[in-house]
Amino acid sequence: MTDGTELLLSIRDLSVEFRSGRAWQPAVRAVSHDVGVGERVGVVGESGSGKTASAMALLGLLPDNARVSGSVQFDGRDLVTLPERVLRTIRGNQASVIYQDPFSSLNPVLTIGRQVSEPLIAHRGMSAKQAGQRAAELLALVGVPRPKDRLKDYPHQFSGGMRQRVMIATALSTGPRFLIADEPTTALDVTVQAQILDVLREMTGVGGASMLLITHDLGIVAGIADRVAVMYAGRVVEAGPTRSLFASAAHPYTVALLQSLPRIDARERRLRAIEGQAPSPGELPRGCPFAVRCANRVDRCLQDDPPLMPIELARVAASRPDEARREVAALGDDGVPGPGRPHLAACWNPARPGAPV
């Protein structure tokens, strides 16, 4: 069941491993996730959480030392099994990526006009002239002043914020249905970040492209995402509609993350730190990977890695774990994060809603 939102992307049991010497290190561990048409989904996590690896795996953008398993249904095809040649067409036409660093992702020796028109010529069969016109329109759309003049300029003649606008224009040039934005504003100043988020908000959403926004910043997610998935140690540990997730965060990691953030609208006498650090993916402890840092830990957490469960179920699951697992399995797609799905958490002892912090 969904809320009527048509699905664009259906990810099942996606795992990613990276070769390190002779061993394979897991980076993403059996992630399932559905993304609706026109949905903006925030994927939040810290370094090593698997947020970037899981997103790049969708479009076959991982380096050669990566191994991917699972399935990614997109337009009736499984992207994981498609050959690179076909993936390249999909990346040019229907899916694009906006990277963190506009400095290294634009070609320094090509004019901006060339770079924005290139996908239009290659994938849309436009003439150079048509593509140039469309490129100017796209630059205007993302707020680059004097777009026609600026087509002749090179990346170094643009500021960081303007380069990121150009990247967005390039990513949007072929009218993709799916956009991955990987920390798109992390390299930018806060006032420029606000401008870029406005552009992304306008270019995605209902009637437009779906967006997977990968970020470590819960503040950005709060302002732009319809839905949020929180990742920790290669797993989605909590997922739900943005409002529900912020108002009644259930996974102790999400709660602790929210509490540890310095907030502009409050002064704390002391920040609530999360002690310790995330485990490295190669040395995962038995049980829940967050358990060693968790204030809510119960005995089961150290033995048994909890599955994603609707939060009402999670609150009672510790006393009857096998039954809870059967119930989760019976939920089918409803137990997978997606549009219109319940708020889920992978925890045997989730935080209780109630008292304001």
Question: For residues 294 and 274, is the Cβ–Cβ distance under 8 A?
Answer: no
CB of 147 to other proteins, least distance (A): 14
Site residues (CB under 8 A) for other proteins? Answer: 46-47, 145, 159-162, 189-195, 197-198, 216-223, 242-243, 246-249, 252, 254-268, 270-275, 277-278, 294-298, 316, 318-319, 349, 351-357
Nearest to other proteins of 25, 93 (CB atom) = 25
Cα-Cα-Cα-Cα torsion 199, 204, 210, 216, nearest 10 degrees, comes to 30
CB of 255 to other proteins, least distance (A): 5
Nearest to other proteins of 68, 245 (CB atom) = 245
Q: Between the CA of residue 202 and those of 71, 139, 141, 145, what are the distances in Å? A: 30, 14, 10, 17
CA distance 210 to 25: 30
CB of 254 to other proteins, least distance (A): 7
CB of 221 to other proteins, least distance (A): 8
Nearest to other proteins of 81, 319 (CB atom) = 319
Nearest to other proteins of 20, 277 (CB atom) = 277
Residue found by looking up tokens 């038995």 in the block = 286
- What's the token pair of residue 323? 């039954």
CB of 54 to other proteins, least distance (A): 18
Residues found in the chain:
357
Nearest to other proteins of 252, 335 (CB atom) = 252
∠ CA 80-51-275 to the nearest 5 degrees?
Answer: 150
Helix (H, G, I), strand (E, B) or coil at 325: helix
Dihedral sign for Cα 279, 283, 287, 292, please. negative
CB of 344 to other proteins, least distance (A): 15
Dihedral sign for Cα 202, 204, 206, 209, please. positive
Nearest to other proteins of 136, 311 (CB atom) = 311
DSSP structure class, residue 269: S
CB of 345 to other proteins, least distance (A): 11
How do strand 95-98 and strand 178-182 relate by DSSP bridges?
Answer: parallel
Helix (H, G, I), strand (E, B) or coil at 273: coil
- DSSP assignment of 66-113 equals EEEEEEEEETTEETTTS-HHHHHHHHHHTEEEE-S-HHHHS-TTS-HH
Nearest to other proteins of 332, 354 (CB atom) = 354
Nearest to other proteins of 91, 165 (CB atom) = 165
CB of 48 to other proteins, least distance (A): 8
